[in-house]
Amino acid sequence: MLDPVWLKTFLVVAETRSFTRAAQRLGLRQSTVSQHVRKLEQASTQQLFVRDTHSVELTADGEAMIGFAGNVIDTIDRAMSYFTGVELRGRVRFGASEDFVVGPLPEILGEFRRSHPQVDLELTVALSGVLHEQLRAGELDLVLCKRATGEDSGGALWTDPLVWVGREGIELDGDEPVPLIAYPPPSITRARALEALQRNGKRWRIVCTSGSLNGLRAAALAGLGVVVFARSLIPPGLVELPPGHGLPDPGVVEFTLTARRAALRGPTAALSDALQAGAGRLHATP
């Protein structure tokens, strides 16, 4: 039998990559944490960590155990909540890309908060590239953002074509460099726009760089230039450039909902379920 106490300890060690920090978080002695992990390894007959005086790394079996342990703990938590009537509690560190700031995401998050008032929801809004980095660093539990198609494994919530967008009636001079409005690096849409222009021998000049969606929108509404957006997430007041604009196809982009496996339980799993259920609202084309 795999004791749930051992599994909880294992998950914290896997997340922190440290027996010392795991002991501090759990309020246990380091020797107790080591004992829990050792018993779990004995029960599973597999080595779960490779550790020395400087580092703690998961083995392949340890990576597999994260999924099993998370499912077991989540099932226990759900059962206790059902039979005791205790509301879902905990914290979710959720990251969302700038694209969703002015869309229906706030409504979905508001509905989640009303359904789970005891859950602390910490929202981070940033560029997709930054969110991926924070997720890998363990600074976020769940992220909703873009990724380039074929960039990573795992299914996408949806795939969207990237399109050139500007103010209604904007006209481009084919003899002049393309006036480009863009997020700063490591923006995926910026990279796709530049790659398309380079691939087709188009000259360009950056007329506005902003880390804010509202900043890009304001520059485009002012007629400073054009910007690349996912078709279903074009900001209000802007339009897709009509056929014949002469700009190269920037391709497509995937939108993904990605969680740290060690965190995909309890409140994080509940928020993931809510966002997947609301995916149709998130990318509904106007």
Per-residue pLDDT, 250: 94
Per-residue pLDDT, 16: 86
**For a pLDDT cut of 90, what percent of the chain falls above it?**
47
Domains of the chain: 4-84 (1.10.10.10), 90-158+254-282 (3.40.190.10), 160-251 (3.40.190.10)
pLDDT tens digit sequence for 164-178: 999 999 989 888 999
Are 151 and 169 in contact by the 8 Å Cβ rule? The answer is no
pTM for the structure as a whole: 0.66
Segment 261-265 shows an average pLDDT of 67
pLDDT tens digit sequence for 78-122: 777 666 655 678 889 999 998 887 778 898 898 888 888 888 999
Are 140 and 94 in contact by the 8 Å Cβ rule? The answer is yes
Per-residue pLDDT, 286: 47
The string over 65-89, giving b where at least 16 C-beta atoms fall within 10 Å of a residue's C-beta and e elsewhere, is bbeebbebbbeebeeeeeeeeeebe
* Bridge partners, 147 (sequence order): 254
- Which residue blocks in 60-187 are alpha helix, DSSP H? 60-84, 105-115, 128-136
pLDDT tens digit sequence for 12-52: 899 888 899 888 888 889 999 999 999 999 999 999 999 88
pLDDT tens digit sequence for 141-150: 999 998 876 5
Mean pLDDT in the chain?
87
pLDDT tens digit sequence for 221-259: 999 999 999 998 899 899 999 988 889 999 999 999 988
